[in-house]
Amino acid sequence: MKYLDEFSDPVLARRLLDQIHAVTTRPWAMMEVCGGQTHSIIRHGIDQLLPPGIEMIHGPGCPVCVTPLEMIDRALAIASQPGVIFCSFGDMLRVPGSGRDLFTVKSAGADVRVVYSPLDALNIARDNPDREVVFFGIGFETTAPANAMTVYQARRLGVRNFSLLVSHVLVPPAIAAIMEAPNCRVQAFLAAGHVCSVMGTSLYPALAARYRVPIVVTGFEPLDILEGIRQTVVQLESGSFAVTNAYPRVVPPEGNVPARQMLEDVFEVTDRTWRGIGMIPASGWRLSSRYREFDAEERFAVGEIHTDESPLCRAGEVLQGHIKPHECSAFGKECTPRNPLGATMVSSEGACAAYYAYRRLDLVEVGA
């Protein structure tokens, strides 16, 4: 497809790799924040082609992975209520809650539907005026405009049987939390290109300056990632910590202004718990008071929720870059995409799922 193939060209990839090798004089550790980039790096074996000292630390940018267990359990409770049609992106269905997931609830009779877009859920609500339709609104700044527009339209069109279960998370506070962690090894960040395409880059210079880390806005195709790494290494080698943009075809500095205005209207900043990581202050969005009547948390009383996380799963350490997925003893044994213990093994952006999908023969003992 146009503008995907061009940025996968092997000759140019070699040229970029040669440049990275030429400028690297010592080891560096950088984090790609976004799980989509993690998958691209592992799928194309980019980390294995880099100079030996260059380490890619995989970040927490997988919304399915960091959605708090309490929120998954709340989703399961709402989906189980009679009369509810519970709509979600497909990734969420296998994410383990405390003992079950949305698939289990669906097979027990709940009306759980996978949709491509939140607008599909709104259309389901319009087609089913006698049912309550809930959309599980998760995601980073890239996805939030879609959910915001859907709630805005629900209010404008008077679709009162629609509501949103909101668990949005934000990248800049997560970068700050990673840098504040006592055992942080991250020396630079590849910033998530599509998050920046919505929000722009204005929040990053202050982070780069405060933590003295280069931040390079990076895309998702192999050449995009290699160019992001190249710009990062050039900065690290010269002791600079600026914000640069390696994805200018999709990221203007101001981001998407109409989307940002909509986000400002529909959402407000809130503290958010990240699964496996803990509470990060001011790291999420919830519906603003103007849209609170569309908040599924307010609309459905589900009683007290007691969460129960797998004692084996080390997803939190994976999400913070402390361990690589295959260093978890359950990886590929008790925990597989078919029977995941944690969300990082489920999501198309989870680091464990990426390692399992692309490297299992290297890393898992055969017959173990």
Partner 1 sequence: MCLAVPGQVKSISERDGTLMADVDFGGVRKDVCLQYVPDATVGEYVVVHVGFAIQRLDEESAKQTLANFEQLGILEEEFGAK
Among 3, 52, 82, 289, indicate the residue that binds partner 1 (CB under 8 A): 3
Told to check if 12 binds partner 1 by CB under 8 A, we report yes
Contact, 138 vs 167, CB < 8 A?
A: yes
Site string for partner 1, 103-132 (x = CB under 8 A): -------------xxxxx------------
Nearest partner of 137 among 60, 201, 219, 78, judged by Cα: 78
- The burial of 348, by beta-carbon neighbours within 10 Å (0-12 exposed, 13-18 middle, 19 or more buried), is given as middle
What is the distance between the alpha carbons of residues 253 and 201, in angstroms, rounded to a whole number? Answer: 5
Shortest reach from residue 119's CB to partner 1, in Å:
6
Shortest reach from residue 365's CB to partner 1, in Å:
32
Angle between helices 35-43 and 351-363 (to 10 degrees): 20
Which residues sit opposite 191 in a β-bridge? Answer: 217
End-to-end CA distance of the chain: 40
What is the distance between the alpha carbons of residues 187 and 115, in angstroms, rounded to a whole number? Answer: 39
Among 22, 279, 282, 312, indicate the residue that binds partner 1 (CB under 8 A): 22
* Residue number with CB closer to partner 1 (37 or 187): 37
Among 59, 60, 145, 340, indicate the residue that binds partner 1 (CB under 8 A): 145
Question: Near partner 1 by CB under 8 A, which window of 42-50, 194-202, 206-214, 297-305?
Answer: 194-202
Which residues inside 262-291 make contact with partner 1, applying CB under 8 A?
Answer: 262
Site string for partner 1, 300-339 (x = CB under 8 A): ----------------------------------------
**Under DSSP, is residue 367 helix (H, G, I), strand (E, B) or coil?**
coil
Instruction: Please tell me the count of residues contacting partner 1 according to CB under 8 A.
Output: 58
Told to check if 250 binds partner 1 by CB under 8 A, we report yes
